[in-house]
Amino acid sequence: MNAVVRVDNLGKRFRRYPAPRARSIKEALLIGWRQTEPTDYFWVFRDVSFEVPPGEMLGIIGRNGAGKSTLLSLTAGLLQADEGSIRLRGHVSALLDLGRSLHPLLTGRENIRTSCLLNGMTNRQVDERVDRIIEFAEIGEFLDAPVRTYSSGMKARLGFAVAIHSDPDILLIDEFLFVGDQFFQSKCIERIRSLMQSGTAVLLSSHIAAKISDHCDRALWLGKAGVRALGRPDEVLAQYRADAEVEAPRLSPS
Amino acid sequence: MASSSPAENGATTRPWRLAHENPFSWETLPYVCELFVHLVSLELRLLHKRSKLGMIWTLVNPIVQLLIFTLILGRVLAVEVRPYPVFLCCGLLCWNAFSESLTMAADSIVNARNVLYQPGFRPFMMPMVVVTMGMIHFVLSCSILAALLAYYRVPLGWPVVALPLLLAIQGLLTLALAFPLAALSVSFHDTKHLLSVALRFLFFLTPILYATDTFPPVFHLFYAANPLTHLVHGYRAILMDRAWPDWFALSGVAGASLLALIFGYRFFESRRFRFIEDVE
């Protein structure tokens, strides 16, 4: 198949540490080196397999703690899989930390270059695109002010503008897609659509069903320990909602 | 538009790679270099931003140290080396670069916690950036040394050309220790404090304030085990005696550093995926 993301039997587990976990060398020496090692593991998910062809947007839905962010982090190469594999083709750009990586003391303009380089652009590409990024981010007169004076919305717009202009083959978006006002949101979606038309595959994670059904070509429901459903968004979301209704009474205090 | 769209690039014709691997290729080398140079220049700019005097502050600390030690050791204890300020300066600048780099390296990953989420970021760059900064400070603070050499009319000889090589060996040694320190201090919060204790001991165990030649031979073996001794002796030989440094000892230092660098780097990379989980 002509995919750019191929996930095979993916499993990720996190370490669970002994209750008094040694977080300093002193403690490690006093209570023993063993306290620095995890005692057991818990699996976030196992046996996750799917492929994403170019130009497709795959929505990942699931409750909090289902591993949506973990799956994106694994795809971005920030974490290492414990089972199976994620294989990629091409350049990855991720919106996992909107605006967090900006340096508060540097100006918007300086931060744009840093973020661009960290997103895999070369200096030459930055020079070509910097004007478009500035225009897209709508920073205006604050461009040469230090980022610590920015509002959180401005930081998010800046982060978004950079990621979206790095011409990724694979774009990872974690919930945050819907930052800023309505106008900025629709502009982002428009830009993502045009990227998809030129072949970018998008992985979007959200716990809001409406976002998935509006924009995605396929949906993946990530539930306890793995994939619950994968297919057309309306079908997957119907199952997801039905499950939520079953779960809801159990969770309510009455 | 000069850059082509992904569809034209044909991502589907490219080879598969594992998501967590950033395989080295000559294709990406210019990009990695650009990113590295940019990160270093960012640090330099931040130095200016934090205070108007910027670089000047990097000179104030060694000057104060020089004054204090010269007054106490040069006058009161009358150490038998002439000119003592030059002798002291050689050791002190070398030491400062070493200890400051390591102190900053211990914080380098923790300080970069916000950048860890960027897919293009390669954590191994942070210790490298920090050590490069330390070496840049070293070169800048050499202006003090140059002033002292001029003041005491110490003539320079051909061996001066060996200085860059000595700097490179020192950078190699520092980097070899910076990698494991950076990785350890993510998991263990007191790494920095233990490091500063260790550095305080090492400061007095390295012939920075004094010369070793008056010591009985038993001690020489001990000093020979300290790689900094050979570096300090090297700088002094070049600048004060117009002699070539002890290449035999220095190649030993370089070899050991290279070996340590390989292990240090591998240790760092083996803990790389813990950084996001452990950084707070």
Q: Would residue A197 count as lying in a domain?
A: yes
What part of A 110-169 touches B (C-beta under 8 Å)?
110, 113-115, 117-120, 122-123, 125, 128-129, 167-169
Mean pLDDT of A104-130: 89
Is B190 within 8 Å of chain A by CB?
A: yes
Per the CB < 8 A criterion, the answer to whether B61 and B134 are in contact is no
Interface touch A76/B5, C-beta < 8 Å: no
- The alpha-carbon gap from B104 to the nearest alpha carbon of chain A, in Å, equals 18
Summarised one tens digit per residue, pLDDT across range A166-195 is 888 999 988 755 666 778 888 888 888 999
Residues of chain B with pLDDT under 70: 1-12, 23-24, 50-54, 75-81, 280
pLDDT of A254 above 80? no
Q: Would residue A34 count as lying in a domain?
A: yes
What is the per-residue pLDDT for A251?
55
CATH classification of the domain holding A49:
3.40.50.300
Q: What is the 3-state secondary structure (H, E, C) of chain B?
A: CCCCCHHHHCHHHCCCEECCCCCCCCCCHHHHHHHHHHHHHHHHHHHHHHCCCCHHHHHHHHHHHHHHHHHHHHHHCCCCCCCHHHHHHHHHHHHHHHHHHHHHHHHHHHHCCCCCCCCCCCCCHHHHHHHHHHHHHHHHHHHHHHHHHHHCCCCCCHHHHHHHHHHHHHHHHHHHHHHHHHHHHHHCCCHHHHHHHHHHHHHHHCCCCCCCCCCCHHHHHHHHCCHHHHHHHHHHHHHHCCCCCCHHHHHHHHHHHHHHHHHHHHHHHHCHHHHHHHCC
Is B12 within 8 Å of chain A by CB?
A: yes
What is the per-residue pLDDT for A164?
85
pLDDT of A240 above 50? yes
Please tell me whether residue A231 adopts helix, strand or coil conformation: strand
Determine the Cα–Cα distance for residues B88 and B66; give it in Å rounded to an integer.
7
pLDDT of A149 above 60? yes
- The alpha-carbon gap from A177 to the nearest alpha carbon of chain B, in Å, equals 16
Task: Choose between A254 and B133: higher pLDDT.
Answer: B133
Q: Would residue A126 count as lying in a domain?
A: no
Look at A15-24, A64-73, A244-253, B22-31 and tell me which has the smallest mean pLDDT: A244-253
Determine the Cα–Cα distance for residues A226 and A27; give it in Å rounded to an integer.
37
Q: Would residue A11 count as lying in a domain?
A: yes
Task: Choose between A245 and B242: higher pLDDT.
Answer: B242
Interface touch A80/B20, C-beta < 8 Å: yes
Q: Would residue A141 count as lying in a domain?
A: no
Mean pLDDT of A130-152: 88
β-strands A40-52, A5-16: how paired? antiparallel
Q: Domain limits at A28?
A: 5-91+168-247
- What total number of domains does chain A contain? 1
Q: Would residue A147 count as lying in a domain?
A: no
**What's the CA angle centered on B204, arms B201 and B209, to 5 degrees?**
160
